[in-house]
């Protein structure tokens, strides 16, 4: 039996959109930040649950923020005529630090799919958005669940004064009030443009556009071992030389070699990090790499996740496969201050999804939906191999995300590169989105 060939690797880039309407659900966008463009607007995940299919942080219990979504329909699957994968995260860097030590999950990945014939979009919605917005769109609005004015997640609560604004939590209601709703609340029409303070409550919004990665010799990892070793040694020796020239010590006469853990020899380089840097340098603005069923580009040779350690699909029990990874460049695009010790941070985020693209199993009277929980650590992955049960009451199935940080050796090398490198181009401006 022949193995189907993998599609080329697609690189994702953040681009501004002149009209934010193109980042809404009828246009099936791939996007970063702003509000999620829900594929199924009726059955949304709960923001009050910390289970795998909920959007509350398991540590601080605050609502998670929408990070990005990918529109990835499957051509040969009628059930996946429309398919989107969503990534959410807690914005509290302290939670992520605690999570790395305890095995908790401060990211959530949800998958949603629809057949061509569905209650929300016309059969020709991809080709005729105007028709969809005037006919099927009215029905979609009528069926849609209320969403939070701040984050765009499910909003079961409402403003007690105007009754129009909806919220996922008391926290977002208070934040919205201070960001301008206090003045807009008395507006009879409710048509008030969002203030800068309100927009700042969510990640800046961009379109996520993709293009194939250029294939070059050595991309398959078959570079001649001897030549590769020689190249790595030359780069490493140059890095050490630059490091010694750049370092300034407060104590006059202190031997620079003392900085190397008290040894007169320097630690070996993180070869995986070197390969990561070299590959990414070709397209330095990439924020995402996509290749369903492919292999991730690891940022370190430390703490790599073996395929067998990835938890199985909580819905059907199938072993999940790699689909895409989020790159560290996105932190810069989003304006995250990596010098703040309590800020959000990652080396690379690896997303694994069900290869079957299974549909949510409907709960019955005898087998009610169970709270979806990923194993607390890879040691308990076997617990997910039990007979699957319905895991969600929404239309969004939980998938798995693995966060890999840069190793200590890689961090030292990165700091030296940043000191030697020219200043990057200006950060792209976010789309001026409406709520």
Cα torsion 96, 98, 99, 100 to 10°: value is 90
pLDDT at position 28 over 90: yes
Beta strands in 328-406 (DSSP E): 348-353, 397-404
Report the C-alpha gap between 311 and 296 in whole angstroms: 16
Task: Tell me phi and psi for residue 266, to 5 degrees.
Answer: -100, 145
Running DSSP on this structure, what letter comes out for residue 335? T
Neighbours of 161 (CB within 10 A): 12
At residue 109, the 3 state secondary structure works out as: strand
Coil vs helix vs strand at 249? coil
User: Would you say residue 133 has pLDDT above 60?
Assistant: no
And the tokens for 84?
């989107």
What pLDDT was estimated at residue 84? 98
pLDDT value for 222:
45
What are the residues whose beta carbons fall under 8 Å from the beta carbon of 331, sequence distance 6 or more? 338, 344, 345, 346
**Confidence (pTM):** 0.80
Q: Which residues are within 8 A (CB) of 15 and not within 5 positions of it... i.e. 6 or more apart?
A: 206, 207, 208, 209, 428
pLDDT at 278 over 90: yes
Q: Distance between alpha carbon 27 and the CA centroid of its chain, in Å? A: 20
Element (H, E) at 196: helix 196-199
Q: What pLDDT digit, counting tens, does each position of 40-71 carry?
A: 999 999 888 878 788 999 899 999 999 999 99
How many residues comprise the chain? 435
Q: How far apart are CA 432 and CA 16, in angstroms?
A: 9
Domain boundaries in the chain? 13-216+355-403
Residues 314 and 139: their CA atoms lie apart, in Å, by 32
- Looking only at the bridges linking them, the beta strands covering 31-32 and 206-212 are antiparallel
pLDDT, tens digit, for every residue of 65-75? 999 999 999 99
């Amino acid at each position: 039996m022949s193995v189907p060939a993998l599609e080329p690797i697609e690189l994702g880039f953040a681009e501004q959109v002149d009209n934010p309407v193109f980042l809404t659900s009828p246009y099936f966008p791939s996007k970063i930040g702003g509000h999620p463009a829900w594929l199924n607007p009726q059955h949304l995940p709960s923001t009050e649950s910390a289970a795998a299919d909920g959007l509350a942080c398991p540590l601080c219990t605050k609502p998670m923020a929408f990070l990005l979504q990918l529109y990835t329909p499957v051509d040969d699957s009628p059930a996946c005529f429309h398919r989107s994968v969503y990534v959410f995260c807690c914005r509290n860097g302290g939670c992520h630090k605690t999570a790395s030590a305890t095995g908790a999950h401060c990211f959530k990945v949800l998958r949603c799919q629809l057949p061509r014939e569905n209650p929300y979009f016309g059969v020709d919605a991809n080709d005729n958005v105007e028709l969809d917005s005037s006919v099927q769109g009215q029905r979609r609005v009528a069926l849609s669940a209320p969403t939070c004015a701040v984050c765009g997640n499910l909003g079961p609560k409402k403003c007690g004064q105007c009754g129009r604004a909806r919220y996922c939590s008391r926290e977002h209601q208070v934040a919205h009030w201070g960001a301008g709703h206090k003045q807009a609340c008395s507006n009879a029409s409710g048509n008030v443009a969002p203030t800068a303070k309100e927009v700042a409550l969510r990640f800046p919004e961009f379109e996520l556009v993709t293009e194939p990665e250029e294939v070059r010799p050595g991309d398959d990892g078959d570079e001649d071992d001897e030549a590769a070793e020689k190249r790595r040694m030359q780069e490493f020796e140059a890095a050490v030389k630059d490091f010694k020239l750049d370092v300034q010590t407060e104590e006059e006469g202190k031997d620079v070699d003392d900085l190397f853990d008290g040894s007169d020899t320097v630690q070996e380089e993180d070869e995986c990090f070197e390969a990561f840097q070299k590959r990414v340098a070709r397209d330095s603005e990439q924020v995402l790499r996509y290749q369903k069923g492919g292999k991730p580009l690891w940022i370190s040779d430390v703490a790599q996740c073996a395929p067998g350690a990835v938890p199985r699909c909580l819905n059907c029990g199938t072993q999940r496969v790699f689909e895409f990874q989020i790159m560290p460049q996105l932190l810069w695009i989003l304006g995250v201050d990596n010098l703040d010790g309590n800020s959000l941070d990652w080396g690379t985020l690896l997303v694994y999804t069900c290869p079957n693209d299974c549909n949510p199993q409907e709960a019955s009277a005898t087998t009610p939906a169970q709270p979806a929980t990923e194993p607390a650590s890879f040691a308990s992955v076997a617990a997910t191999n039990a007979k699957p049960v319905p895991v969600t009451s929404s239309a969004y199935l939980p998938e798995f995300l693995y966060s890999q940080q840069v190793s200590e050796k890689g961090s030292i090398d990165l700091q030296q590169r940043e000191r030697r490198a020219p200043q990057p181009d200006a950060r792209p401006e976010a789309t001026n989105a409406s709520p």
